[in-house]
Chain A
Amino acid sequence: KNEVEQSPQNLTAQEGEFITINCSYSVGISALHWLQQHPGGGIVSLFMLSSGKKKHGRLIATINIQEKHSSLHITASHPRDSAVYICAVRGNTDKLIFGTGTRLQVFP
């Protein structure tokens, strides 16, 4: 079993829909990262969380440390949100452990 599990693996949505991507982990962590990878391949950092909730524009990330679970929400989704979303956790060192990603496609 992977230490970081994401669901769903693939997600399609119509423009405007509310989207949720989930991440569960089985190890103790000091922080959790949400990353976005566009079809061109580049990876950018969206959020870094150690507790609670963060919001940036239409994106919201939450984390429940007790349940070892995080969610990434996208409100009013848009075709430009189409990408792979990757959850990664940081333990007691600087090393990251990655989930396998959720591929999101948003259709107009």
Chain B
Amino acid sequence: EAQVTQNPRYLITVTGKKLTVTCSQNMNHEYMSWYRQDPGLGLRQIYYSMNVEVTDKGDVPEGYKVSRKEKRNFPLILESPSPNQTSLYFCASTRAGGIHEQYFGPGTRLTVT
């Protein structure tokens, strides 16, 4: 089954404690993205990757890092989380180039206290 998985699904943490949200896809997609979703603001892109070892900033990259060492995995790293990073996070993947369906992970609800 074609899918994007994310872990954990729910996380409560404290300010400053480094965390990683994993994302994995099994469709051999080149393009992967991380989004955050906040009330009234819709989905905003944090980082994206066009392929292995190719990553770039999206619209709201401050406070986040990513890596793309393997094609299937695209982890999101918060080195020093702050309360304003409390949000619902989605990973997504698609084939690069052309017009292709987007596949989203189930979401990770992060609360930073």
Contact = CB atoms under 8 A, between A and B. Distances in A.
B94 A94 contact: yes
Q: Is the interface of B mostly helix, strand, loop or mixed?
A: strand
A9 B104 CA distance: 22
Contacts, number: 52
A42 B107 contact: yes
A69 interface: no
Interface size class, chain A: 20 to 34
Contacts of A42: 104, 106-107
Contacts of B100: 48
Contact of A94 (B40, B50, B88, B106): B50
Interface string B10-45: 000000000000000000000101010000111111
